[in-house]
Copies of this chain bind each other. A is one copy, B any other.
Amino acid sequence: MQTISAPHVMQFPAWMARGAARQSDTRPASAPNEARRSFAKEAGIFTQGDQAQSYYRVMAGTVRTYRVLSDGRRQIDAFHVPGDIFGIEMGEVRSMSADAVEPVTLLQYRNQPLAELATDDPEFAQQVMGAMLQALERAQAHIMLLGRKSAVEKLATFLLGIADRLSGLGCVDLPMSRIDIADHLGLTIETVSRSLTQLERARYIELPAHRRSIILKNISALRRLDS
């Protein structure tokens, strides 16, 4: 049984606090707090360990965010497509890296105290909150995938999800390589390839020649694998 002692003080991001000290706070308060930025394919957007001073909304392209262990093992926690917000951090330092899977256009937002944001632009504040909750929900679904699903089930779930977000079910043009998929699903590229072949042989999907687009032939069967 837990002691009934005072609950730990809840941490919260320093930059959210009203009046938190920030460098380069010389911009006029009225200036739009956003900047358009573009990145080439495979370009880094930020890196584990960087100072976290802003977050982003994807306008075009696909971004991957990931962590790397000391020995090089990589885990991609999410792909971000147009409309998604990513890069909000708890601490002052990046816990993740991000880079462009394909050419990307982003809107960059400087971190800003929540109270200020809620006052200045309540609708946008809502969207930011919503983005955080959506990221959390997706992370939780991904935890289920990684912890308890087989390789084929992982692929089925992934294909349904990415198709839905990128193009609507039916056909996807995958922006990412097999390596990226493997590092997202906790598999090796060989297992990704074999599982796709397996889904193709079962007539659940079709793999056209250039290997980057995938046609979902039997969506209800894929959903069944998705449980």
Q: Quick check: is A217 within 8 A (CB to CB) of the other chain?
A: no
Q: Which residue of B lies closest to A11 (CB)?
A: B130
Q: Which residues of B contact A64 (CB under 8 A)?
A: none
Tell me whether B57 and A129 are in contact (CB under 8 A): no
Q: For the complex formed by this chain, how many copies does it contain in all?
A: 2
Q: Quick check: is A137 within 8 A (CB to CB) of the other chain?
A: yes
A131-B185 in contact given A2-B82, A102-B1, A175-B2 (Cβ < 8 Å): no
| Cα–Cα, bound, A105→B83 (Å) | 39
Partner-binding segment picked from A24-32, A70-78, A191-199, A200-208:
A70-78
25 A-B pairs (CB sep. < 8 Å): A1-B61, A2-B104, A3-B60, A7-B57, A7-B59, A7-B82, A9-B83, A10-B131, A12-B129, A13-B130, A69-B144, A69-B227, A74-B148, A77-B140, A89-B137, A90-B130, A95-B141, A114-B122, A115-B122, A118-B118, A139-B140, A143-B143, A146-B146, A146-B147, A147-B184
